[in-house]
Amino acid sequence: MKIPVLRLDPELSTPVSAHQDDAGIDLYARIDADLSPGEWAMIPTGIAVAIPVGHAGLVAPRSGLAAKYAISVVNGPGVVDAGYRGEINVILINHGDASVALRRGDRIAQLVVVPVASVELTEVEQLPDSERGAGGFGSTGK
């Protein structure tokens, strides 16, 4: 699948997957940011994309940042709708106990493009039965 990308900051690298079969495309920080423990910040990536109709882009955390520094995406995953044409921003949070310095050009998140179904909700008087029923959080054990 080819996705048009507009580089809003020509000095940053064009986002790519590290390996041909990777699910995510690396997103880079357009600005420097220092995150203290518990602090969050919106970091621009310097790109805009045209996700094809019938798909969405999911802005997901990078496992390396999470494992090393407890950095994650606040609304992870963030959703980039097919009709959105603005700059992709990533809301990062520091869940760790030390400050983390993110620098311009650092890989901060990944964009995963997935198919989405067109959904129309239909109001009903009662839902059909299922094996699980209304069992919610923790209903299937530890």
Convert the pLDDT of each residue in 87-141 to its tens digit: 999 999 999 999 999 999 999 999 999 999 999 999 999 999 998 888 787 777 7
What are the pLDDT digits (tens) for 14-58?
A: 888 888 888 999 999 999 999 999 999 999 999 999 999 999 999
88 close to 59: Cβ distance less than 8 angstroms: yes
Residue type, 81: D
The pLDDT value recorded for residue 16 is: 85
Who's near 9: CB < 8 A, 6+ residues apart? 30, 46, 47
Q: Which two structure tokens, joined as six digits, stand for 97?
A: 């106990």
Q: Which two tokens stand for residue 30?
A: 């357009």
CA atoms within 13 A on the CB side of 97: 0
| Peptide bond before residue 77 is cis, with ω within 30 degrees of 0 | yes
Domain 5-115 in CATH 3.30.300.130? The answer is no
What pLDDT score does 116 carry? 96
